[in-house]
Chains A and B, each alone.
Chain A
Amino acid sequence: MPEQVALVPFLILAIATLGGGVMVVLSRNVVHAAFWLLEVMMAVAGLFMLLSAGFLALVQVMVYAGAVSVLVLFTVMLTLRRREDAIRSLDLSWSAAGIALAVLVAAAAAIASFTPTLPAAPVVTPGVEAFGRALFTSWALPFEISSVILLVALVGAVWWAGGGEK
């Protein structure tokens, strides 16, 4: 694993991630915002790749970019009654600006006070095999619990949709 990542690709990906995030918030059209979200997910996959976490990057592409963003788009496109509804309304009042400013200050303060403790980088990047072994031996219980959580969410969604009850 590299001690430092290459600067130019990192800068490109960082700008793509942050810029995409800004565009998610700024674009007036909800569908455009969803596509910008997709761009952010892809850029984050690129950042994982830069850290030699290839498997994580692939899972990011497959699950977040390939499935979650499709579901987001699906929901957005299906719930819009007219095409014009995709344009979000813009609130330019002072109260809205005040709330935005307060959130910004709080977020900036939180980031400034947070110093992450970084674990030492491993010498060699573990491959998929080592990853799978770790996941199904020492991390088996957390892995199973997270899958049960997803199952509960699925069952809940089916119940919510009223499947089977006439």
Chain B
Amino acid sequence: MNIAIEILVRFLAMVALLLVNGVVLIYMLRKVLGHLHLRIGPNRVGPFGLLQTTNDVIKLLTKEDLRPAAADAWLFNIAPFLVFVPSFMAYIPLVFGPELAVTRLDTGILVIFAVLSLVPIGIMMAGWASNSKWSLIGGMRAAGQQIAYEIPLLLSVLGPVMMAGSMDPSAIVAAQSGTWFGFIPRWFVLPQIIGFVVYAISAQAETQQTPFDMSEAESELITGFANEYGGMRFGFLYLAEFSNMFIVAAVGTMLFFGGWQLPWIETPGWAAPFVFILKTYIGIFTMMWARGSLPRFRVDQMLAFCWKRLIPISLTWVVVWACIQRLAFEAAIR
């Protein structure tokens, strides 16, 4: 195939996944949160309210593009894209099957976290440009939170990377095939349980899900940094949030739960993407579950928890695991 066409097709597949995923996740969030709150959730538009999000997308697309008169015009217009583009780029290294990825990168895991580290800048930009106190407070909180939780997130990723000896997602997934002692799936979550817990908490904070959603805290800041946005600009901010949820769940699946592989049996090639998406959605469901069950932290509690608990735990775990692996490795070659 012509290389330009191939790149275009991969690119479009990525866009399609992102958009469809956004629509599905918004419906899922409403339904899951609804049932957790003993409500029904959307049930009027289409069967089981399935068309609710589709209608919302049309509404967002056709809404007037408003900008507050006192807003910083340039920054206000750029900010949604600065939030959206990194989240879009993070799809590039995801591995959906043995041969199924946009491209294979030696440093795939690092690419994902490098581009995701740009998201808080867009949020700060949105908060500042809106020229509203609530937006600015939201933007500041988001930046402080994401800078802090990025550290335990990256440290918790080190465990699986050390075990696989590679930052290439496909190599990490391949290292998790087979079983330990013949019956335990070789998923890194078992030896790396501490790393996984740290990862799950920091991922929840990085995507600003409820126990850590200080940046948009409805009851305090209305919707925080997204306050002054409407129409499709708000749509982009919103979509990026759901896309980030998918990404952290997908990365968690690749690092800790064997990626596209089924336990115990050989995964057929056609089933791999379905297994991967299913595992990712289980991860997303768990995130929504936490979102529906836990009350919001206070800002100072959240930051203190990160700096005084999560970072020391994850640092210690990295050192401990490095020693364990080194000693095991030494024993193996002797």
Q: Are B140 and A70 in contact (CB under 8 A)?
A: no
Q: Are A58 and B114 in contact (CB under 8 A)?
A: yes
Chain B interfacial positions (CB closer than 8 Å to A) = 72, 74-75, 106-107, 110-111, 113-115, 117-118, 120-121, 124-125, 128, 131, 136, 140, 143-144, 147, 150, 166-167
Q: Which residues of chain B come closer than 8 Å to A77, judged between CB atoms?
A: 124, 128, 136, 140
State the CA gap A58–B90 with chains docked (Å).
13
**Cβ-based interface call for A65 (8 A):** yes
Picked from B74, B107, B117, B136, the residue with its CB within 8 Å of the CB of A67 is B117
Picked from B72, B114, B128, the residue with its CB within 8 Å of the CB of A66 is B114
* Beta-carbon nearest neighbor of A57 in chain B: B114
Range of interface residues on A (Cβ < 8 Å):
20 to 34
Q: Are A127 and B106 in contact (CB under 8 A)?
A: yes
The verdict on A70 contacting B147 (CB below 8 Å), with A35-B125, A62-B117 known, is yes
Q: What's the nearest-Cβ distance from chain B to residue A64, in Å? A: 10
Q: Are B107 and A38 in contact (CB under 8 A)?
A: no
State the CA gap A35–B122 with chains docked (Å).
10
* Beta-carbon nearest neighbor of B147 in chain A: A70
Q: Are B147 and A58 in contact (CB under 8 A)?
A: no
Given A55-B110, A70-B120, 17 new contacts (CB under 8 A): A35-B125, A54-B107, A58-B111, A61-B114, A62-B110, A62-B113, A65-B118, A65-B121, A66-B117, A66-B120, A66-B121, A69-B121, A70-B143, A73-B124, A73-B128, A77-B140, A128-B106
State the CA gap A58–B154 with chains docked (Å).
14
Interface residues of A in 9-60 (CB under 8 A from B): 31-32, 35, 38, 54-55, 58-59
* Beta-carbon nearest neighbor of A67 in chain B: B147
Q: Are A35 and B140 in contact (CB under 8 A)?
A: no
Q: Are A74 and B140 in contact (CB under 8 A)?
A: yes
Q: What's the nearest-Cβ distance from chain A to residue B72, in Å? A: 8
State the CA gap A83–B129 with chains docked (Å).
11
Chain A interfacial positions (CB closer than 8 Å to B) = 31-32, 35, 38, 54-55, 58-59, 61-62, 65-67, 69-71, 73-74, 77-78, 83, 127-129
Q: Which residues of chain B come closer than 8 Å to A78, judged between CB atoms?
A: 140
Main secondary structure of the interface of A (DSSP, over half): helix
Residue with the greatest number of chain B CB neighbours at <10 A, chosen from A35, A38, A83: A35
Q: Which residues of chain B come closer than 8 Å to A61, judged between CB atoms?
A: 114-115, 117-118
Q: Which residues of chain B come closer than 8 Å to A67, judged between CB atoms?
A: 117, 147, 150
Q: Which residues of chain A come closer than 8 Å to B167, judged between CB atoms?
A: 128
* Beta-carbon nearest neighbor of B78 in chain A: A35
* Beta-carbon nearest neighbor of A74 in chain B: B143
Q: Are B107 and A58 in contact (CB under 8 A)?
A: yes
Q: Which residues of chain B come closer than 8 Å to A71, judged between CB atoms?
A: 147
Residue with the greatest number of chain A CB neighbours at <10 A, chosen from B74, B75, B110, B150: B110
Q: Which residues of chain A come closer than 8 Å to B117, judged between CB atoms?
A: 61-62, 65-67
Q: What's the nearest-Cβ distance from chain A to residue B144, in Å? A: 7
Q: Which residues of chain B come closer than 8 Å to A69, judged between CB atoms?
A: 121
State the CA gap A78–B72 with chains docked (Å).
17
Q: What's the nearest-Cβ distance from chain B to residue A36, in Å? A: 11
State the CA gap A32–B198 with chains docked (Å).
36
State the CA gap A98–B106 with chains docked (Å).
52
What are 28 pairs between A and B in contact, CB < 8 Å? A31-B72, A31-B75, A35-B125, A54-B106, A54-B107, A55-B107, A58-B107, A58-B114, A59-B114, A61-B114, A61-B115, A61-B117, A62-B110, A65-B117, A65-B118, A66-B114, A66-B120, A67-B117, A67-B147, A70-B120, A70-B143, A70-B147, A73-B128, A77-B124, A77-B140, A78-B140, A83-B131, A128-B107
The verdict on A74 contacting B144 (CB below 8 Å), with A66-B118, A66-B121, A69-B121 known, is yes
The verdict on A70 contacting B107 (CB below 8 Å), with A62-B113, A78-B140, A83-B131 known, is no
State the CA gap A66–B111 with chains docked (Å).
12
State the CA gap A83–B113 with chains docked (Å).
32
State the CA gap A65–B114 with chains docked (Å).
9
Q: Which residues of chain B come closer than 8 Å to A66, judged between CB atoms?
A: 114, 117-118, 120-121, 150
Q: Are B110 and A58 in contact (CB under 8 A)?
A: yes
State the CA gap A35–B79 with chains docked (Å).
11
* Beta-carbon nearest neighbor of B131 in chain A: A83
State the CA gap A69–B150 with chains docked (Å).
15
State the CA gap A31–B107 with chains docked (Å).
33
Picked from A55, A62, A73, A129, the residue with its CB within 8 Å of the CB of B121 is A73
State the CA gap A67–B264 with chains docked (Å).
42
Give 7 nearest A-B pairs by CB, closest first: A66-B117, A62-B114, A61-B114, A58-B114, A58-B110, A62-B117, A70-B143
Q: What's the nearest-Cβ distance from chain B to residue A74, in Å? A: 6
